[in-house]
Amino acid sequence: MATNELYPEFTPEMKKTHTILIPNALPVHFSLMGSVFRDAGYKIALLDYDGQKVIDTGLKYVHNDACYPAIVVIGQLIYALESGDYDPKTSALMLYQTGGGCRASNYVHMLRKALKKAGLEYVPVVSVNFGGIEKNSGFDITPLMFLKGLITWLYGDFVMLLRNQVVPYENNKGDAAAVMEKWRVKLTDQIRENKGLTMRTIKQNFRAIADDFAAVPVTKTKKPRVGIVGELYVKYADFGNDHLPDFLVSQGAEVMVPGILGFAMYSLNIVRENHRLYGDRKGVMFSRASVWYVERLEKAMLGVLKDYPQFEKPIPFPKLKALGEETISSGVCMGEGWLLTAEMSELIEKGYSNIVCVQPFGCLPNHIVGKGMIRGMTEKYRNANICAIDYDPGATRVNQQNRIKLMLSIAKERV
């Protein structure tokens, strides 16, 4: 087996023989993005294992002081190999590697240590990163894959945005979920055939999706409007936040979760900030071109939403950045950085003044730009009602939900 001195490599031959296992962090987005990998010739499986058994597996192989998302996703991956559902000898594992100061940069190394401890050190690990941290000869993100990946994130954001605004008010429970599933299948088929990728077809799809959600029978009532911000995995993954959006809806709230595309533009913008602050020119041209293209996609989405006044729409990224700079420097780029604070401002100004700020226990970047900015937010916005919730293996659901219910009780009084 080919190795990179210390660990097994995912080789070109493995594209035909191995299935790549991926923790499912964003069900809608990853389902669409899965077709991008499959079209490129990779066999993949998205993992949805959850429950205490997965957490216990993670704690068995990862130190309990590690970041909660690391414990959860490594627990999912090792559990999949030990469960018998997948043959370890024909499986590979995939994790995203951010680079920079976030502990997510170390997840791949922690996973390899866990595999060695479990006697599975021969299983290759694929790192998805754009910083050249490490490479595998059998896995490469081509320009077409990158382009299609960005577009799937856009579609995922659009469906999530409208679904969240319809679910709390639908007359027939499950209608919004049915629309979401319809478009998940339809968009997956389009992407598989390299359709739905031009600006014209993207706009057509947006309009058709919006028409379908607008056609769902609803009864609008006064409800507390709650926004969710925080660390990326805990913010989006159902397992990471214990199905927080569903819980909030069950308690009579409407939920808004900022899209993942904002984080993509924030990440691409970091290179430009490094150039502005420190003179570092590495990757500046790629960053500028990528941000320009993604802003075009965002502009297309916002242009379609203008014809649907019943739906709230996000603000353009440049305005989001400017809004954040009223409270925090755009040079704060560790973890979710200034974006988290900017998203809180955007949500409050859109009427989602009740905010659940979620983060793994001990996540330093998020404690600074999340918890650390609560005072600044409440001084800027007198109606801000912010609740910070930590997620870790020792946190109890009852304690978390009770704190959220306390926040909601204040929100309901204001309604």
Per-residue confidence band for 334, with pLDDT thresholds at 50, 70 and 90: confident
Per-residue confidence band for 99, with pLDDT thresholds at 50, 70 and 90: low
- Find out whether 50 and 27 touch, Cβ atoms under 8 Å: no
Q: Poorest-confidence range of 60-69, 201-210, 380-389?
A: 60-69
Q: Write out the two tokens for 1.
A: 């087996």
As a whole number, mean pLDDT of residues 407-412 equals 94
Q: Do domains 14-140 and 222-259+314-415 have the same CATH topology?
A: yes
Q: Which one-letter amino acid corresponds to residue 72? A: V
φ, ψ of residue 340 in degrees (nearest 5): -60, -45
pLDDT of residue 328: 93
Q: Above 90 in pLDDT, residue 364?
A: no
**Dist. CA 327–CA 344, nearest whole Å:** 11
Q: Which one-letter amino acid corresponds to residue 91? A: S
pLDDT for 72-85, tens place per residue?
Answer: 999 999 999 999 99
* Element spanning 298, H or E: helix 284-305
Q: Above 90 in pLDDT, residue 173?
A: yes
Determine whether domain 14-140 maps to CATH 1.10.3680: no
pLDDT of residue 168: 97
pLDDT for 55-70, tens place per residue?
Answer: 999 999 998 888 899 9
pLDDT of residue 2: 44
Start-to-end CA span in the chain (Å): 63
Strand partners of residue 8: 3
CA 190, 191, 197, 203 dihedral sign is positive
Torsion of CA 223, 227, 233, 234, to 10 degrees: -60
Do strands 385-391 and 354-360 pair parallel, antiparallel, or not at all (unpaired)?
Answer: parallel
Per-residue confidence band for 382, with pLDDT thresholds at 50, 70 and 90: very high
Q: Where are the domains of the chain?
A: 14-140, 142-221+279-310, 222-259+314-415
Per-residue confidence band for 181, with pLDDT thresholds at 50, 70 and 90: very high
Per-residue confidence band for 17, with pLDDT thresholds at 50, 70 and 90: very high
Q: Mean pLDDT over all residues of the chain?
A: 91
φ, ψ of residue 111 in degrees (nearest 5): -65, -40
- Find out whether 21 and 92 touch, Cβ atoms under 8 Å: yes
- Find out whether 190 and 184 touch, Cβ atoms under 8 Å: no
pLDDT of residue 143: 86
Strand partners of residue 354: 226, 385
pLDDT of residue 1: 43
pLDDT of residue 284: 84
Would you give the DSSP letter of residue 257? Answer: -
Q: pTM, whole model, 2 decimals?
A: 0.92
**Dist. CA 130–CA 206, nearest whole Å:** 29
- Find out whether 241 and 211 touch, Cβ atoms under 8 Å: no
φ, ψ of residue 249 in degrees (nearest 5): -65, -40
Give me the percent of the chain exceeding a pLDDT of 90. 70
Classify burial at 362, counting beta carbons within 10 Å of its beta carbon; exposed 0-12, middle 13-18, buried 19 or more. middle
**Dist. CA 274–CA 96, nearest whole Å:** 22
Q: Which residues contact 217 (CB under 8 A, 6 or more apart)?
A: 170, 171, 172, 175
222-259+314-415 folds as: Rossmann fold (3.40.50)
pLDDT of residue 183: 96
- Find out whether 216 and 166 touch, Cβ atoms under 8 Å: yes
pLDDT of residue 276: 83
pLDDT for 282-321, tens place per residue?
Answer: 888 888 888 898 899 999 999 999 999 999 999 999 999 9
User: Who wins on pLDDT, 57 or 27?
Assistant: 57
- Find out whether 33 and 153 touch, Cβ atoms under 8 Å: yes
**Dist. CA 83–CA 94, nearest whole Å:** 18
Would you give the DSSP letter of residue 316? Answer: P
